[in-house]
Amino acid sequence: MADTLGEDWWKADSSDASYEGEEEKPSEKAADEKKPRKRKTESVKLTKAKKKKKECFVAQEKQDTAEDKGVEKPKKRRKKKNITDALAASEPKPGCAADLQELLRDHYADKLSIIELEELQLPDSCFLARNDLSHSLSSYLKEICPKWAKVQKNHAIKRSVVLLIICSSALRTIELIKQLTAFKGEGKVLKLFAKHIKVEEQMKLLAKGVAHIGVGTPGRIKALIEKDGLTLDALKYVVLDWNWRDQKLRRMVDIPEVREHHLVPEV
């Protein structure tokens, strides 16, 4: 009995021990199983991120190769040079008689015959010394007209001026009139431009009294001559504001409206 009980007790103890061991094993396994799962999830995330990076690099490489092979890059358009760019690159040169003669020939080349063009050619005696860009307006006029005081005293014809200065704009007209202070003396100066002044008003001023100098734009001067508001009976000097340039670096003869319609007279 004792032996059998002893054996049974041992078996019972062993079975209990084994049962307790079996109960401990699952907890250890669970603990062991949890650790590698975290590593696996971390490794999975890393591999996914690496795959995304690879996909991005591959996509960029494909785009680059497609652009290199098949698609042509758009060519840059070159800016066209305009009058302003061309004049900015060129050095300012004083106008001369040949420039005016060339302007007249180009304007009437397809309108007049060869004989008529020859008759239009002005002799050199019609031209005075040009401004070499070293003179102011007053000093230049004193050089070409040294006896101005006597000339203005002898002038007594209405609706006509002795000196006519032609420029490109109303603002330039006002600037030139201010520069005439040292030259004009007792002479009367008239503004002959279209801005804020009607033709009829200027015709009345010309008919009212004697004016010695007229400064204005080609369009208004032409209109006054056509309407007999301004005559050329007493005219002795015509000065073209040839060398001055506006904000776009254009001379008076470079402005299309002035060049084609106003500056060159109709024959």
CA–CA gap between residue 108 and residue 103 (Å, rounded)? 9
CA–CA gap between residue 193 and residue 262 (Å, rounded)? 13
Counted domains in the chain? 1
Cβ-based neighbour number of residue 154 at 10 Å: 9
Q: Which helix (H) or strand (E) holds 12?
A: helix 2-69
Contact between residue 184 and residue 208 where contact means Cβ atoms under 8 Å apart: no
Give Cα 23 to chain centroid, integer Å.
92
Q: Note whether residue 108 is domain-resident.
A: no
Q: Tens place of pLDDT for every residue, the chain, 267 residues?
A: 444 444 454 444 444 444 444 444 455 544 455 444 545 455 555 555 555 544 444 445 445 554 555 555 566 666 666 655 665 666 667 788 888 888 888 888 888 888 888 888 888 888 888 888 788 999 999 999 999 999 999 999 999 999 999 999 999 999 999 999 999 999 999 999 988 889 999 999 999 999 999 999 999 999 999 999 999 999 999 999 988 888 888 888 888 877 765 555 554
What pLDDT does residue 37 have? 52
Helix 199-208 crosses helix 218-226 at what angle (to 10 degrees)?
70
Q: Note whether residue 110 is domain-resident.
A: no
Q: Note whether residue 45 is domain-resident.
A: no
Contacts (Cβ under 8 Å, ≥6 apart) of 241:
165, 166, 167, 168, 172, 176, 252
Would you call 29 helix, strand, or coil by DSSP?
A: helix
Q: Note whether residue 244 is domain-resident.
A: yes
CA–CA gap between residue 29 and residue 154 (Å, rounded)? 131
Token pair for 97 = 């008689």
Contact between residue 91 and residue 133 where contact means Cβ atoms under 8 Å apart: no
Q: Note whether residue 140 is domain-resident.
A: no
What pLDDT does residue 80 have? 62
Q: Note whether residue 195 is domain-resident.
A: yes
What pLDDT does residue 166 have? 95
Contact between residue 241 and residue 166 where contact means Cβ atoms under 8 Å apart: yes
Token pair for 41 = 């999830």
Q: Note whether residue 25 is domain-resident.
A: no
Instruction: Give the residue among 175, 241, 230, 233 at the shortest CA–CA distance from 207.
Output: 230
Q: What would you report as the CA-atom Rg of the chain, rounded to the nearest whole angstrom?
A: 49
Contacts (Cβ under 8 Å, ≥6 apart) of 26:
none
Phi-psi region of 230 (alpha: psi -120 to 50; beta: other; left: phi over 0): beta
CATH number for the domain that contains residue 187: 3.40.50.300
CA–CA gap between residue 169 and residue 244 (Å, rounded)? 11
What residue has token string 């776009």? 248
Phi, psi of 216 (to 5 degrees): -170, -175
The domain in which residue 182 lies consists of 147-261
pTM for the model:
0.64
Contact between residue 166 and residue 221 where contact means Cβ atoms under 8 Å apart: yes
CA–CA gap between residue 186 and residue 150 (Å, rounded)? 11
CA–CA gap between residue 12 and residue 176 (Å, rounded)? 131
Q: Note whether residue 5 is domain-resident.
A: no
